[in-house]
Amino acid sequence: MSNILLTVLVATRNGEDVLPRTLEAYRRLESLIHAWKLVIVDNGSTDSTPAIIAAFKNYLPIEMLQEPVAGKNRALNRGLAAVEGRSVIITDDDAIPAPSFLIAWSRCLEKRQGYDLFGGTIEPLFDARS
């Protein structure tokens, strides 16, 4: 039996411009008492996305899957097979988690065990153009 509490599921396609920043934010997350995993589905990228994901495998509990046929829902459905734990958090490859991201979700799951679906706020981060 796995000791994983939750899985974060991300689909990405040609994410080389956003993934380094996003995955670096996952590296800085506050520690969670329970284990967790990050499932990333590469949706047929033609850039350096697979290499970027591989570079973070030494720092994060990443499981990378491939879905060669384009389509975000197709990629997320591919990732569902790798989900472990009580809950799955589906997020985007450019959504940068706050340091307390996993702890906040863990506390929410503990307090609201009768719920099956949750949503959260996403604050946009726009790159300034010169």
CATH of residue 37's domain is 3.90.550.10
Residue 85 lies in a domain: yes
Of the pLDDT bands very low, low, confident and very high (cuts 50, 70, 90), residue 50 is: very high
Residue 103 tokens, joined: 């702890």
Please tell me the predicted confidence (pLDDT) of residue 116: 61
Categorise residue 71: left if φ over 0, alpha if ψ from -120 to 50, beta otherwise. left
Residue 119 lies in a domain: no
In whole angstroms, give the CA distance from residue 19 to residue 96: 9
Whole-angstrom CA distances from 105 to 10, 36, 54, 89 are: 16, 11, 26, 9
How big is the CA angle at 73 (ends 112 and 12), to the nearest 5 degrees? 95
pTM of the model: 0.90
Range scoring the smallest mean pLDDT among 10-14, 73-77, 118-122: 118-122
- Which structural domain, as residue segments, surrounds residue 80? 4-111
Residue 67 lies in a domain: yes
